[in-house]
Amino acid sequence: IGASGGDEKPRILLMGLRRSGKSSIQKVVFHKVSPNETLFLESTNKIVKDDVSNSSFVRFQIWDLPGHIDFFDPTFDSENIFGGCGALIFVIDAQDDYMEALVRLHSTVERAHKINPNIKFEIFIHKVDGLLDDHKIETQRDIHQRACDDLEDAGLEKVSLSFHLTSIYDHSIFEAFSKVVQKLIPQLPILENLLNILISNSGIEKAFLFDVVSKIYIATDSSPVDMQCYELCCDMIDVVIDISCIYGIRDDGAFDSQSAAIIKLNTNTVLYLREVNKYLALVCILREDNYEKQGLIDYNFQCFRKSIQEVFEVQQNSAAGNSNDVLM
Ligand code: GDP
C-alpha cells in the first residue's frame, strides 16, 4: 500500500529521541492542548497510533515512536510501519546536543528508505523558541550539513530531506505540518488554482483552505504566506469555534455546513470565513473597501465550494472503483 500515490489515507510517522517533543507536537496540533500543559506530559514509551481521521479532513495517523526502539529487532514490524507511510517527521531537539539524534536520524532514513523509497523525510529542528535568530540559522545549517554528509557517505545522496524550524510556542509547528501534509495531497495543484481564481475575481488579498480541527492549511493561493496573516486566520478559527461552542444551538459539533463569520478589524481589514465541507473552511483576508462587493464574494465562494466538492468526489469515485485500495 503506497500511501503517497493512492487515494487512501496518507500516513505520517512522527519519530525522534525521547523528550524531543513528539507527544507535545501531537497534543498541540491535533488536540488543542496549550503549549504550557505539555510540560507535564509523560514521555512516550510505546507506539501511539493517533487516528485523527474521524474529526479531520486530512486523514492521517501519527505514530509516536519512542527513541529507544531498535528497528532491527524482529518484533518491530518495520515493513508495515514504513511501507504504508507517506511522510516521516523526525524531531530533533535543537536545545540539546543533537549528535545522538543525528545518528538515529541516519539509521532511520537508511532503513525507511530501503523499505519505502517514496517516503518523504521531514526534519523538524524543534524547540527553537529557546534560540536566538542567528543561532537558529547556524543550527539548521549545521544539522543540514551533517545529515546530508552522512547520507552521502552511505551512498544515499539521492534521498532528499526537508528541514523546518519549529516550536510549539508559536505558529511555526502548524506551518511546518501544513507543508508536510500538502506534499501528500495529490489534488494540491487543483486546489491552489481554484484559490487563485477565487481571490483574483473577488478582490481578496489572501485565502487559506483550512482543516478546521488541526488548523493546518491544506492549500493557499500562490501569493507568499505571511506568518502574521496565517496567525490571524488561525485565531479567527478559534474565535468562531469558541463562540459556536458557547452560543451554538446544535450539540453535534461547533462547525457545520452553515458556519460562516465576518470579522472587521480596525486596520481596514476584513476576515471572511466560510465552511467548505464538514472538515474544511475557507478563511480569507481582504481590504474593507473590497468587502463592499459582498454579494460577488458570496457568489464566487459558492462556485468555489462546488468545484472543491467536485474535486474530492472524483477522488472518492476513483477510489471506490479500485478494489486494491484500502479505504480506512
Ligand atoms: P517526547 O518524549 O518526544 O514525546 O517529548 P515530550 O513531548 O514529552 O516533550 C518533552 C519536553 O519538551 C516537555 O517538557 C515539553 O514541554 C518540551 N517541549 C516540547 N516542545 C517544545 C518546544 O517547542 N519548545 C520548548 N521550549 N519545549 C518544548
Which is more confidently placed, 79 or 7? 79
Given pLDDT bands bounded at 50, 70 and 90, which one contains residue 256? low
Q: Is residue 168 scored above 80 in pLDDT? A: yes
The Cα–Cα gap between 280 and 119 comes to 26
For ligand 1, atom 18: residue with the closest CA: 21
User: What is the number of the ligand 1 atom nearest to the C-alpha of 169?
Assistant: 23
Q: Is residue 66 scored above 60 in pLDDT? A: no
> Ligand 1: distance of its center to the CA of 269 in Å?
36
- C-alpha cell belonging to residue 141: 545549517
Span 33-52, mean pLDDT?
A: 70
Q: What is the pLDDT of residue 19?
A: 87
Q: What is the pTM of this model?
A: 0.85
Span 153-169, mean pLDDT?
A: 94
- C-alpha cell belonging to residue 27: 497534543
Q: Is the dihedral of CA 151, 152, 154, 157 positive or negative?
A: positive
- Quote the ipTM score: 0.98
Q: Is the dihedral of CA 313, 318, 323, 328 positive or negative?
A: negative
CB of 273 within 8 A of CB of 305?
A: no
Mean pLDDT of the chain: 84
Minimal CA–CA distance to 229: which of 300, 293, 175? 175
Q: Which residues does 327 contact at the CB level (< 8 Å), separation at least 6?
A: 7, 8, 9, 319, 320
User: What is the number of the ligand 1 atom nearest to the C-alpha of 28?
Assistant: 20
The Cα–Cα gap between 272 and 198 comes to 13
Strands 260-264 and 120-126: unpaired
Distance of CA 138 to the CA centre of its chain: 25
For ligand 1, atom 12: residue with the closest CA: 21
With a Cβ cut-off of 6 Å, ligand 1 is lined by 16, 18-24, 38-39, 41, 43-44, 126-127, 129-130, 167-169
The Cα–Cα gap between 180 and 89 comes to 8
Minimal CA–CA distance to 233: which of 198, 283, 308, 270? 283
